[in-house]
Every structure is written in structure tokens, then in C-alpha cells.
Chain A
Amino acid sequence: MTVLELTTADTAAAAVPGSRRRALRRVLRNPLAAVGLVVVVVAVLAALLADLVAPFPYDRTNFGAALQPPSPAHWFGTDELGRDQFSRVLFGLRASVGVGVLSVALSLAVGVPLGLLSGFYGWLDPVISRLTDTLLAFPFLVLAVGLAAILGPSLATATIAIGVAQIPAIIRVTRGETLRLRGMDYVAAAVAGGAGDGVLLRRHILPNAVNALIVQATVNVPAAILGEAVLSFLGLGLRPPNPSLGGMLSSAESLFRDGPWLVVFPGVAIVLLTLALNLFGDGLRDALDPREVRR
């Protein structure tokens, strides 16, 4: 048993890039995940290229052309201030993707080091774990609403609020993986070989914890995007006139009867994006799960 573990773990440690490439190939064999990936890639491209693709600036108003239904000039119609809805959806996509990615990056940047330390140094564990528990004891929205209220609504605030709320989960996952990996024989072998703490953490533990973190991140990105939408609904999202999908959706809600297209397009965009992320994430999780390999 011990011998077997040593070999599998060592191969994993040695062949991480190759195994991930294989995992990606497995993901793409899952049609749902493949579709998800395509949608996500398109959305990210659209968000990145919004400046080039969008036919109008997102804040160009035209009171004379307010609330027009979709037409060749305005593919997604215009809003109550006569702004081109297609352009706003593109820029909204950018904001939503941005909040999703940046908040998760923030939670990783803070959570991963803390999780590694907590799992690796027994004496630090109680301190970090209690702090994590404390943070976890507050529901995400309570934290986010509180932070957004303190910092004032803006893109940065939404990102920080959502990112901070996601830190505990990252710490927990990293810590769990670190605990698990530290007990592995190949790590013991590295210690016997004279490897220092830094080397152990960077070379042997972190690379093997990445799979679990990727899986966690695929859950967190769509959650963050919806989190921004909810903050917008509560009036704590982006600063106007900057659009985000959630913000557009919540402000269009009262215009539902005058301009159904105002609800439909951002709504479809946000559902498609998060659904695609979730589908891709689930596919990825299956592919990275060693149990799936055996089957």
C-alpha cells in the first residue's frame, strides 16, 4: 500500500503538466463541458474586445431614441436613456467577468498562502483556523453587503467584498490538501533528502494542491458573478453609468413592460455565462478527479 502510494504520488508530482493536458482532453470529450468552454471563451473574448466590437460607447445617451426595440442599428434595442444595449451588454460582460476573475484571484492570493501555512505549521494552524471559522460564520451576503456599505459602491468594492467572502473556502481547501500531501511518503522522502520548508511547499505540495484549487475556483467564479448581480440588486454594485450584467438586469426590472428586451438580453447573457462556467467546471472536476481515471 505504502509503496503503491509513493509511486502514484511521485508520478503525479513529476507529470503534472502532462496529466493536466490529458485532463483537458477528457473534459472536451464531455459534450456539456465542451459547449461550456466554447461559450466561456467567446464571452471572455467579447469582454476583452468590447472596445473594438461595441458599435457605441456604453454611456452615449440619446434621449430621442429611448426604449427602442431591437433593430439593425441597435441589435439589442436601446435603454431608457437611449443607450445602445448591445454595447452595454458587451461592457457589462467585461465588468461581470472582471469581478468574477479578480475576486477569485484575490481570494486565492490571500487564501492559498494562509492555507499552506496553516496546514504545514501545526502551531499556526489554530490561529488561522479560528480566524477562518470566524469569517465562515458570517454568511457571504452579510459580509459582502457590509463591506460594500463601508467602502461605497464601486467595481473595486464589489470585487473586494466578494473576494474576501470567498477567502475561507480557499484556506480550507488549501489547508486540507496540505495536510493530506504532507503525510505522503514522497514528501517525507524529500525531507529526508534535505529539502527546506520553502522548497517543500513550492515544489512538492503546492503543485499537487492545484487540482483541488482549480475545482474550487470553477465553483467560485460563477458564484462571484452572481454575487455581483445580487449586490447590484441591493444597490451596491458598480458606479453608474458603468454597466454590469447584474446592474443592467436589476435596473431594467422596473422597465419590464416598456422594454422587455432590457430584461431579456442581460438576463440571457448572465445565465449563459454562469451556466457555461458551471458546466465546464463540473466537467473539469470529473476529469481531474483521480477516481474518474480508473473508471
Chain B
Amino acid sequence: MDALRRAAVLLVLAVTACSSIDSTTPAPSNGPDNRPLKNGGELRVALSAEPDLLDPTLARTLVGRTIFNAICEKLYDVNEKLAIVPQLAAAPPEISGDGKTVTIKLRQGLKFADGTTMDAAAVKTSLDRHRTLKGSARTSELSSVDGVDVVDQATVAIRLKAPFAPLAAVLADRAGMIMSPAALTAQGDKFATNPVCIGPFKFSSRVAQDRIEVVKDPNYYDAAKVHLDKVTYKIIADSSTRFNNLRSGDVEVLDTVAATDVDALKADANLRLLTSASLGYQGITVNIANQNGVGQAPGTLAAPYAGPLAADVKIRQAFELSLDRDAINTVVFRGQFSPACGPISPDSELSSDAAQACPKHDVAAAKSLLSQAGVSIPVKVGMVIGTDAQARRLGEAIQAQVREAGFDVELQPTEFSASLDQTDKGKFQLFQIGWSGRVDPDGNIANFLKTKGSQNISGYSNPDVDSLIDQARATTDTSRRRDLYGQVITKARADGSIIYLYRAKNLLGVSAKIGGVKLFGDGILRFGEAGFAVGS
């Protein structure tokens, strides 16, 4: 009897392991998770890459923002709807009539992890450091700021050179993180090795290329809501290895699940998947006129980078028409992502029909555009791609699709940092690259499409687009901005400096034992209210 039961259990296990049908009742996936959580425990998180400096002023990597979320809160934050809400600030920013003074009220009585008190002077110190420290990665985000004044102990006023609508969004990111002035003085340029801010957790230790540990901060104003004693972030670059660690129980949370692992993850009763639509996009940037380097005036391309795609907008349109975004999504990403034709997420409140307009896959139209342009077929063009398996697969799929219309794409796999360097200098024809995305659409548009923009590696320049972007920055009226961004995108799409391809999803694998993990569109992992479920 006993043996029989054991055999039956084994059979069930085998069936559940092999099929994707869920016969058990796992923790809710993506739905509300209201299980009671117990206090204590260590959460182990697998990150896909090593964060850089743990200094909000100097940090540049995307993955670092997840660590900061645990230890460094900001003046503002976003909620699950990506609306901006006060975090260390007590209220939304008050903007003066001319739009050039922004007053921010602060919460009172908050303590940094070192026990010192946060006040307006600390906020001014932090913002000034973000703006002026040598090597600061925040200077361009805060370039519109002219100065910061302490109004009283709980109020600061930010003076702007010109009205800048995205400011609140900027202060909801690293530029809004407030550091302990005492720690800044004590540690000088070593702040990154022991950052002190306000957060549910405080920095504990870091072993390079291996792990970062944070522990519960008793000084935190909401410490009563924090369940976990400790969070350990492990760095595991290879996606299969990362997934194996989640399945074997060596970690409880997995950042960036590979699209190819999603089905297996869903099938595993011990795991669940959290998803959110990414704020960013992936696409192909066409080098139109980047002859002098990014940020410089556009020039005329020379060999070997000049070519029909750079020269003729019709050929860029033909290239886009020959792409089948749905097929790419199905074949390369197992249908997990969604096709994208513009820089703004459809979830953004500033999105519009114009922002999401998308041409249909049409090989015949592509062919006729090519014959109108009078180029010899096949049109040869080189495309820089990444070196990992997924990037190669995407490149191969694109190559196969555009071949039907008459393009002969040479794939040039290039290691990431080398590719950035090379494309900044304009040494490329096509580059498959994306952007992680910002809450305010300005962060997805201005640097990429404005003439001499800091990320405009295409060398694209259209005075109309420049002026529309500036107008959208200067107004805080939502419907006006929505309309302006729609116009920007319509014009820029027609010029084809960036061929948008797809919008990824943030995919987070979580052990069923864990509850309270939050994942919003910004892709940042939030563990402030996470914990082990009672009974796990």
C-alpha cells in the first residue's frame, strides 16, 4: 500500500514536472498576494549583472537601482501605475507660476541609517553633490537646475533655469536619493564602499563579483513593515545558471528570467512569475550622419559606413516594412514580449494612438520601395549585435526576414562595451540596441532624437523634432504633452533613425515561499515589504 502510494506520488511529480499543466495550487501569479508573512529570514536574490559604484551620485548601471531601492530612498517614488508619489518628500512638488521654482516639503523626523536626522540641509547637500561632484552621472539629469535653497528645516526650493516638466520623475530616480551628510563628510570619495541613506535596509557588505548584503535598518521610519532580516544579492551572469539556482532553491528570487525559461518556470509549482511591461524599448539604430562622434554636429558618412540605408529614407522604410515584429516576438522571445513601434510604453499616461502607430509587415511594399529607390539588389548592410545567444538569435531572425525583401545583412557580434564605444564614434551602419526606459517619456526621447543629443548615435537631426521636444519639456499640461510627443514620434518615425522593434517585459522569478515582492514597470525589485510566507 505504502509502496503504491509512493509510486503514485512519483508519477504525479513526473507528470507535473513534464507538463505545463498546473495541477497543484501555487501562490497567485501576478494577482494580489495577501498571504500573511512572518518576520525574519534571509532573502537570496540572483542579479544578472554586477552593479557598479554604490554611490547614488556616481552610479550608472541599471542593476544598481535595485540595490539602491533597498538602501537609498528618494524624494519621490513611482507606484504600481507609475504615477509619481512622495517618498521622502511630504507632498507633491509645488511649482511656481513661471514654472521656474519648485518647492518641496519634506517628511520630518526621518533618520539615516547612521542615526543622524534628515533635514532640508541634507537634501541640499545631496542635490548639490549630484549636480557638481566630479564624475557625477547625475549632472545631465539635473542640468536644468540652477540652485537649491533651504527654505526652512523641512522645506527646500529648487530654482530652475527654465521650466522642466520631467523634474519630479528625475527626483524619483537616483538624482532624488538623499545621502547622510555625516557619512559623506566622514568617508569622502569612499562613500560607495559604505553608502548611508534612508531605506528599509542598510548596507552591510560587498564582495566584488560575488555578492552584496544588506540588513534590516532599525532606524528606518517604517521598520515595523519590514519583514526580512537580510537580503543577499548574488551576481550570476549566465541566464541558465541563474534559472538553475532558482529551481534548486539556492536563491529565492531571480531577476531577468530568460524568455525561453518562462514556460518551465510557470510549470514549476514551487515558483511563480512576476511580470511588468518595460518602460524601455529595443530597436535598430541606423547611422544616418554620425561622422564626427555622438553629441557632435552631423556630417556626411564615408566608407565603409556610408550606404543606401544612411542615404535614402525610402530604403530605411523598406527595411522596416520587411520586418515582421510578431514573428520576431514569437520565434525569439517565445511570444513573451510585445512588438513596439515607438519609444513610449503604451502604459504611459503620455502615450497616444500616434505614439503607438505601427506599419504592417509588407514585403511587397518593401520591394517596391527598393525598386523605386533604384538600388541594386541585394542591399548590403552590416549590423552590430550583442554576443549572447539571445542577441545572436534576434540578429539571425532579422537577417532572415529582410533577406526576403532584398537586404543582405552581415551580423557583427560585438562585446557590449566595445559596441558602445564603436557606435558612439559612428563606426557602424546598423546597431541593435535598446534603452531601459524612464518614467517620463522625455528620458526615452530627448537624448536619442534631438540634434547632438548625448545618445543620438544616429546623427539624426530634424529641427521640427527638436522644437517639439523642447515644447513638451516646458509644459506640465498632460494632454498638451501627450499631443506633442505624438507629433515627435510621427515625425521621427518617418525619418527612420531608429527602427523600433519590441518592448520587453520585466520577468521576475520568485519562490512560492516568498510574498510581498513588488515589481513595477521600472523593473526595480522592491523587497521593503517582502517576507517568507507563514507556514513555508
A and B directly contacting (CB within 8 A): yes
Which A residues lie at the B interface, using CB under 8 A?
A: 59, 61, 63, 66, 80-82, 149, 152-153, 235-236, 239-241, 250-251, 253-258
Residues of A within 8 A of B389 (CB): 235, 250-251, 253-254
Q: Which of A149, A235, A258 contacts B388 (CB 8 A)?
A: A235
* Assembly CA distance A153 to B396 (angstroms): 15
Contact with A along B326-355 (1 / 0, CB 8 A): 010011100000000000000000000000
Residues of A within 8 A of B418 (CB): 149, 152
9 smallest CB-CB distances across A and B, nearest first, come from A235-B387, A61-B400, A251-B389, A240-B392, A254-B260, A241-B396, A153-B413, A257-B264, A240-B411
Chain A, residue nearest B18 (CB): A257
Contact with A along B386-418 (1 / 0, CB 8 A): 111110110111011000000000011111001
Residues of A within 8 A of B240 (CB): 253-254, 256
Residues of A within 8 A of B263 (CB): 257-258
Contact with A along B360-404 (1 / 0, CB 8 A): 000000000000000000000000011111101101110110000
Decide if B393 touches A251 in the complex (CB within 8 Å).
yes
Chain A to chain B contacts (Cβ below 8 Å), 24 pairs: A61-B397, A61-B400, A63-B400, A80-B331, A80-B332, A81-B331, A81-B400, A82-B331, A152-B413, A235-B386, A235-B388, A235-B415, A239-B412, A239-B413, A240-B385, A240-B396, A241-B396, A241-B399, A241-B400, A241-B411, A250-B389, A253-B389, A254-B261, A258-B263
Closest beta carbon of chain A to B122's beta carbon, Å: 44
Binding site secondary structure of chain A: loop
Closest beta carbon of chain B to A255's beta carbon, Å: 6
* Assembly CA distance A111 to B442 (angstroms): 58
Contacts A61-B397, A81-B396 known; list 7 others, CB within 8 Å.
Answer: A63-B397, A153-B387, A240-B392, A240-B413, A254-B239, A254-B390, A258-B260
Residues of B within 8 A of A153 (CB): 387, 413-414
* Assembly CA distance A258 to B392 (angstroms): 18
* Assembly CA distance A66 to B332 (angstroms): 10
Closest beta carbon of chain A to B402's beta carbon, Å: 12
Q: Which of A236, A239, A258 contacts B411 (CB 8 A)?
A: A239
Residues of B within 8 A of A80 (CB): 331-332, 393
Chain B, residue nearest A66 (CB): B331
Is B258 an interface residue, CB under 8 A from the partner? yes
Residues of A within 8 A of B386 (CB): 235
Chain A, residue nearest B411 (CB): A240
* Assembly CA distance A262 to B414 (angstroms): 25
* Assembly CA distance A235 to B239 (angstroms): 13
Residues of B within 8 A of A236 (CB): 387, 415
Decide if A152 touches B393 in the complex (CB within 8 Å).
no
Residues of B within 8 A of A251 (CB): 389, 392-393
Closest beta carbon of chain A to B420's beta carbon, Å: 14
